[in-house]
Amino acid sequence: MDRALNRRAFLKMTGATGAMAAAFQPVAALSQGSKAQEVENRVFAASAIPDRILLIPTEDSARSQCVTWRTWEKVSNPLAQIAVADGSPHFTSSAVTVPGTTSVLKATDGKDWRDYYHRVFFTGLEPEASYHYRLGDGSTWSEWFLFKTSAETLKPFSFIYLGDAQNNILSEWSHVVRRARVQDPDIRFMLHAGDLVNHEDSDEEWGQWHQGDGWAQSGISCLATPGNHEYKLESISPQWNHQFAFPGNGPDSRRLTNTVYYVDYQNVRFISLDTTLMHNPYYARKQRIWLKECLKNNPCRWTIAFHHHPMRAGASGRTGHFLLNLHIRPLYEKYGVHLVLQGHDHTYARGSLKPIFGKYRPTYMVSVSGPKMYTASASWADVSVGNRQVFQHISVDEEALHVKSLISTGELVDSFSLNHAGV
Ligand SMILES: [Fe+2]
């Protein structure tokens, strides 16, 4: 770290609290008055040091990479530095500085704070190359992180798929996501199937979500689709568009930008749909039209769709999503989507549906990684499991998709493989 720790970190390190903490307040902090006190009272307050760092995939993950992060308002000149990583400690001398852009999140809890979210795009990268990067403002910097670009063609890789985190995120979800991280240190991204938080505008819950996965998010890309808990009516979480910057290749619709998109990664097309807004027939139709083109013009060998609401229910008292079945299922069956990753029902279920609109038979999964549980009930499923917080390790190669569903002790709940014909 190039600069001294900020006050909060310093106090934490020294164990200073209460009156002792007040005695340690720098002159600058004291002069900020009640606003500084209010910031201090936030559980996950921003500081000069970058946090909430997310690696976001671009349309060309072999040659570019997006990173987003947060600071407090004093950082008005966001910068990133990047250098090729080859094991030498001298990489810093060849680092290139790249300017970022900033957006402002006003307090979502009625208080007076403002958080500054920044993003940068690294371009002109080499495929399958490792890079160091750090974030800052020219004087205060993060540590150097590490990421790797993708291959340009199909090459075996693995990723993690997680259902709803949603509740008691830091205390009862973090053990699942952390186990998923160490299950395979070479995973290429984490895929979140919605309901990352319980209250869309709760900055404390977003803080828990970021801390739950911690620094690991700075090294492996994040894919996410929103759930109903990321929405208030048809308005998405205030944090969503500041921290996520997914490829803008979705439908021509302001509300669907950054929630409906695709990412091609080593010959796999990942498609995010926004099934919450699909309750509105206008947005359902928009997504159907876009998805048809997305599937028709798909050059990838494998196709994996992910969205929050399931095609068929995974729990008792729940129902399938009518407009999803009406608009989207026919396209999955006609164009051969291999795997559909879903959440929402707080159970685990996996199976396929007899095709009625086409010849292909996608495999549908419902999963949950957080602690909230419903009663498992899925007559359509080959496997249905209740009362387990699960994560999925999914490996891709030319011949098959290999899926393992595990719990945080490392024990298997389910495993299966799909060949290219979807069986
Ligand atoms: Fe949900």
Which tens digit of pLDDT belongs to each residue from 403-422? 999 999 999 999 999 999 87
- Domain end call among 103, 120, 148: 148
Query: Mean of the pLDDT values across residues 36-61?
Result: 88
Task: Find the 59 Cα to ligand 1 centroid distance in Å.
Answer: 28
Task: Find the 30 Cα to ligand 1 centroid distance in Å.
Answer: 44
Task: Find the 185 Cα to ligand 1 centroid distance in Å.
Answer: 29
Query: How far separated are the first and last CA of the chain, in Å rounded?
Result: 51
Say what the pLDDT of residue 38 is.
55
Query: Of the candidates 287, 422, 296, 409, which has an alpha carbon nearest to the alpha carbon of residue 359?
Result: 422
Please say whether the beta carbons of 212 and 190 come within 8 A. no
Task: Find the 131 Cα to ligand 1 centroid distance in Å.
Answer: 36
Query: Mean of the pLDDT values across residues 358-368?
Result: 95
User: Residue 29 belongs to what H/E stretch?
Assistant: helix 27-31
- Domain end call among 120, 148, 176: 148
Whether 295 maps to a domain, the answer reads: yes
CATH number at residue 109: 2.60.40.380
Task: Find the 65 Cα to ligand 1 centroid distance in Å.
Answer: 30
Per DSSP, the three-state class of 31 is helix
**What residues sit around ligand 1, an ion, with C-beta below 5 angstroms?**
195, 227-228, 344
CATH number at residue 327: 3.60.21.10
Question: Is residue 397 over pLDDT 70?
Answer: yes
What mean pLDDT value characterizes the chain? 91
Say what the pLDDT of residue 416 is.
98
Task: Find the 101 Cα to ligand 1 centroid distance in Å.
Answer: 32
Asked if 143 and 162 sit in the same domain, the reply is no
Whether 328 maps to a domain, the answer reads: yes
Query: d(Cα 367, Cα 354) in Å, to the nearest integer?
Result: 21
Task: Find the 164 Cα to ligand 1 centroid distance in Å.
Answer: 7
Asked if 277 and 294 sit in the same domain, the reply is yes
Task: Find the 195 Cα to ligand 1 centroid distance in Å.
Answer: 6
Task: Find the 233 Cα to ligand 1 centroid distance in Å.
Answer: 13
Query: Mean of the pLDDT values across residues 282-308?
Result: 97
Task: Find the 273 Cα to ligand 1 centroid distance in Å.
Answer: 14
Query: d(Cα 351, Cα 118) in Å, to the nearest integer?
Result: 41
Say what the pLDDT of residue 357 is.
86
Asked if 233 and 134 sit in the same domain, the reply is no
Percent pLDDT > 70 in the chain is 90
Asked if 92 and 182 sit in the same domain, the reply is no
Please say whether the beta carbons of 331 and 290 come within 8 A. no
Task: Find the 125 Cα to ligand 1 centroid distance in Å.
Answer: 37
All residues at 6 or more sequence positions from 126 whose CB lies less than 8 Å from its CB, including other chains: 63, 149
Whether 1 maps to a domain, the answer reads: no
Asked if 301 and 186 sit in the same domain, the reply is yes
Whether 2 maps to a domain, the answer reads: no
Task: Find the 363 Cα to ligand 1 centroid distance in Å.
Answer: 20
Q: CA 128: distance to chain centroid?
A: 22
- The radius of gyration of the chain's CA atoms, rounded to the nearest angstrom, is 22
Asked if 222 and 75 sit in the same domain, the reply is no
- Domain end call among 101, 116, 148: 148
Say what the pLDDT of residue 12 is.
36
Task: Find the 194 Cα to ligand 1 centroid distance in Å.
Answer: 7
Task: Find the 308 Cα to ligand 1 centroid distance in Å.
Answer: 7
Whether 46 maps to a domain, the answer reads: no
Asked if 312 and 256 sit in the same domain, the reply is yes
Question: Is residue 16 over pLDDT 60?
Answer: no
Question: Is residue 194 over pLDDT 80?
Answer: yes
Asked if 191 and 317 sit in the same domain, the reply is yes
Task: Find the 238 Cα to ligand 1 centroid distance in Å.
Answer: 18
Whether 271 maps to a domain, the answer reads: yes
Question: Is residue 8 over pLDDT 60?
Answer: no
Task: Find the 51 Cα to ligand 1 centroid distance in Å.
Answer: 27
Task: Find the 197 Cα to ligand 1 centroid distance in Å.
Answer: 10
Question: Is residue 159 over pLDDT 90?
Answer: yes
Task: Find the 227 Cα to ligand 1 centroid distance in Å.
Answer: 5
Q: DSSP label at 180?
A: H
Task: Find the 228 Cα to ligand 1 centroid distance in Å.
Answer: 5
Predicted TM-score (pTM) of this structure: 0.90
Number of domains in the chain: 3
Token code pair at residue 124: 């002109």
Task: Find the 24 Cα to ligand 1 centroid distance in Å.
Answer: 45
Task: Find the 216 Cα to ligand 1 centroid distance in Å.
Answer: 25
Say what the pLDDT of residue 398 is.
95
Question: Is residue 227 over pLDDT 70?
Answer: yes
Asked if 213 and 110 sit in the same domain, the reply is no
Task: Find the 192 Cα to ligand 1 centroid distance in Å.
Answer: 12
pLDDT tens digits along 160-193: 999 999 999 999 999 999 999 999 999 999 999 9
Asked if 142 and 214 sit in the same domain, the reply is no
Asked if 71 and 117 sit in the same domain, the reply is yes
Question: Is residue 224 over pLDDT 90?
Answer: yes
Residue 29: band (very low, low, confident or very high) from pLDDT cuts 50, 70, 90: very low
Task: Find the 356 Cα to ligand 1 centroid distance in Å.
Answer: 27
Asked if 342 and 396 sit in the same domain, the reply is yes
Question: Is residue 263 over pLDDT 80?
Answer: yes
Instruction: State the residue range of the domain holding 27.
Output: 7-41
Whether 113 maps to a domain, the answer reads: yes
Say what the pLDDT of residue 39 is.
57
Say what the pLDDT of residue 275 is.
98
